Structure 1
């Protein structure tokens, strides 16, 4: 595969967050880009506005039959008509990860892997490189709130890439700098056991290029087996790590803190987004920026300007009467970090979490962990499981989580969510999940903003 010789490229599943980033990469290089996706979304509409031809019916007659390269996502079923046709006709058909593999071979590659934190960390690294003028090509797994994009290009021969462990895709990458945020059990429908998940992440570090650097969280399982000619260990506050945060204090829904690395200190950093886990992600990003030789004050200015990622501890309503946070959290550890951080920032507010479990297998495998994390809230609303690519599993449903939660809980239908929000008080309201729960973002925001206006008027009248 010679990326420089491609003139026309066709994507099956072009609307996926990772696929669309690659599509934008080729589109900005002047290649003819087109693709299929199952449904039209805000993201696919953006791609169309950028000049890409997109259709939403699995129909070979609508596909680009003159394409030099066909790229598909693992989320596409093997029975997909277009995918079968292109294979049978002898087209070069590759996975998204195959394209990223070639990009990491050609460019100085900074990849960010881990079962949690990789989207925020990769986006923050890419933002720092862009904001400071260092420059990079960014391939992200979320939409940057600063730029409303999951991809941007640069003449600098550097790439920041989110390394997705699903389907072992990240094992094709060859980084110069590999960041590793977490090695927790996940995607057991793919890996089978926690040990196989760990083996995959160890292999991820074996692919680091000669003289490359591993930037890994202090205290990971099987840390002694992780590879890389150079190691930098980071942590939230553990001073045994090579780089860590100190003097952490909340500040207007974000944090101020220092970062210490050996004989170097970066003081009074301001991070405008919430979540103590995001401080740790920032420490990892600072480690990379410092490794690249970016000036201290430029790093601090970039972080202070970071607006986060859509659906990652995202404030949708934030006033004296109401806090509404939306997050992509779909693993017990992600939920634990989300809820505990929100409660620490707003300790006097009643915390209500609306959670949509994602996948039957994940719900089955981690039901106890989900219940423990959700029990950190004052009240829990559970939507039915979002199946995504899976068929139902007998006996697996949201009720199996609900019965283990130690706080007031109810399983609620989608059509009843807004009625509940209108009728109940939730000064700290959180929506979380990786399915289609994001459809409630704007409606819930409108209701809660309206409540805030009413509260404000009542206070004025009393005054």
Structure 2
């Protein structure tokens, strides 16, 4: 399919983080763009501010008239949308329309570009946004599609040109197998999405399949220790690219990077946590292999500000720190815990966690319990169902019973702020991939009223 021949692009699930980046891209390419989503959010508001029409009632009658021309319209949908969605059903029953998944559209966009792809069960969004920022600051003609809102650009799309693309290679629904990258990396392969894969072995096999999608003359990076061959990267080890002499100065990492050819000294990076340092390292390695000048890369890395909902500070005073993060897997919760302890040793920490998906909660309940128990206080919200129906016996109450911590409780969204204000914790964390992110501004406002 030739995207240049398309005039209209209609999105079913336009408010999704990956879908909205595509919507911005096509809007910037002067296509007519509109879409449906079930909920109005800051993302849909930002799309409407660009002039993109968005509606929130699932009805074919709400689709604007120009999008009924099947010769010039592309319909894009996300697997997160229920199969019973009336608009999706309509377009599926009209075979004249071109109907593609988000991942398939990314594959089409990237196939005639120099593509850098970031895969892994954790770290994709931060790594992709760092890499996109590095290439942009080095004046590479790049389009970077991000799975979060970059603090540097206040967008999930970086658009300097279209010759080079940076994308998240998403393992969900095996979406990353639509890509054929020139340079790729795999950050992690922890078990996840078992509702799709069935078991961890199938997930690992899928990452192996992805590694073989890299072009014959391309390069694959893997974090040291993963069971896939490629250029390695790691922290304080003997990898092909490794970070050494790591110090924290005024809350900033200062470190050296050994490459196969040289050593880059006194690099600076602002995000806390060794997991983020690892993300910065691989983004830097991919940019070096692409050919970016080392001096420009060092300056670009120091200017990187992060991604919203990835260890995002909302209050940072001597008395109180409030951080929000997208963490929704036990390993991600562990990474946040270690980052907080590294930055705030000895301070009392409250974690408010909203589990995401019944299946993920069921599959990793013991690991969730163990990771959450590390914090001084634990508050659990109800499970955010996303695309799923409830599973009998799977609940936040069940998870709470497994957490070995004397300071734990269930809380409702209605009581969220009052329960947080009752805590004596000096560091407050809100974690989860559901709609807890919509509560952050209200929590911040309430807490600032106290200070």
TM-score normalised per structure 2: 0.96
Check whether the contact 1:343–1:351 (CA below 8 A) recurs between aligned residues.
no
Q: Which residue of 2 aligns with 1:311?
A: 309
Q: Distance in 1 between matches of 2:304 and 2:233?
A: 20
Measure, in 1, the Cα distance between the counterparts of 2:141 and 2:263. Answer: 24
Runs of 4+, deviation exceeding 6 Å: none
In the alignment, structure 1 residue 178 sits paired with structure 2 residue 178? no
Post-superposition CA distance 1:150-202 (Å, at most 9, x none): 01222350000011111111111111111110011000001100001001111
Residue 127 of structure 1 corresponds to which residue in structure 2?
133
Give the alignment of 1:149-164 within 5 angstroms. 149-164=155-170
Please list every run of 5 or more consecutive structure 1 residues that lacks an aligned counterpart in the other structure. 225-230, 454-463
Does residue 203 in structure 1 map to residue 201 in structure 2?
A: no
Residue 96 of structure 1 is aligned with which of 80, 95, 102?
102
1:334 alignment partner, one of 317, 332, 335? 332
In the TM superposition, residue 279 of structure 1 has moved relative to its aligned partner by: 0.3
Any idea what the Cα deviations from partners look like across 1:109-137, whole Å, max 9, x if unmatched? 00111000000000000001112222310
Q: Is the 8 A contact 2:140 2:160 kept in 1?
A: no
Distance in 1, matches of 2:410 and 2:50, equals 41
Residue-by-residue CA offset, 1:188-245 (whole Å, 9 max, x unaligned): 001100001001111111111120010111101x324xxxxxx32111222x211111
Q: 1: CA distance between counterparts of 2:13 and 2:439? A: 24
Whole-angstrom distance in 2 between the partners of 1:357 and 1:373: 13
Paired residue secondary structure (2:298): helix
Shift of 1:447: 2.9
Q: Is the 8 A contact 1:113 1:164 kept in 2?
A: yes
SS class of match (2:364) = helix
Between the aligned partners of 1:298 and 1:157, the Cα distance in structure 2 is 20
Residue of structure 2 in register with 1:421 after alignment: 420
Q: How does 1:36-435 map to 2 (within 5 A)?
A: 36-63=36-63, 64-67=67-70, 68-90=73-95, 91-220=97-226, 222-224=227-229, 231-238=230-237, 240-407=238-405, 408-435=407-434
Deviation of the 1:406 alpha carbon: 2.3
CA contact (8 A) 1:421 1:447 kept: no
**Alignment deviations for residues 372-412 of structure 1 (CA, whole Å, 9 cap, x no partner):** 11122111111111111111111111122222222221111
Distance 2:306 2:319 in 1: 23
Q: Distance in 2 between matches of 1:106 and 1:334?
A: 34
Q: Is the contact between residue 233 and residue 240 of structure 2 (CA under 8 Å) also seen in structure 1?
A: yes
1:251 deviates by: 2.8
Q: SS at 1:223's partner residue?
A: coil
Partners of 2:90 and 2:22 lie apart in 1 by 22
Contact map agreement 2:12 2:36 (CA 8 A) in 1? yes
3-state SS, counterpart of residue 145 of structure 2: strand
Deviations 1:43-63 (A, max 9, x none): 111111212122111121221
Gaps of 5+ in 2: none
Equivalent pairs counted in the alignment come to 444
What do residues 79-109 of structure 1 show as CA deviations (whole Å, max 9, x unaligned)? 1111121122221111111111112211110
> Contact 2:12 / 2:81 at 8 angstroms: preserved in 1?
yes
Give the CA RMSD over aligned residues. Answer: 1.3
Instruction: Decide whether the 8 Å contact of 1:8 with 1:31 is kept in 2.
Output: yes
Once the 2 structures are TM-superposed, how far is the Cα of residue 14 of structure 1 from its aligned partner? 0.9
Q: Measure, in 2, the Cα distance between the counterparts of 1:255 and 1:281.
A: 13
Q: What is the deviation of 1:296?
A: 1.6
Q: More deviation in 335-344 or 258-267?
A: 258-267
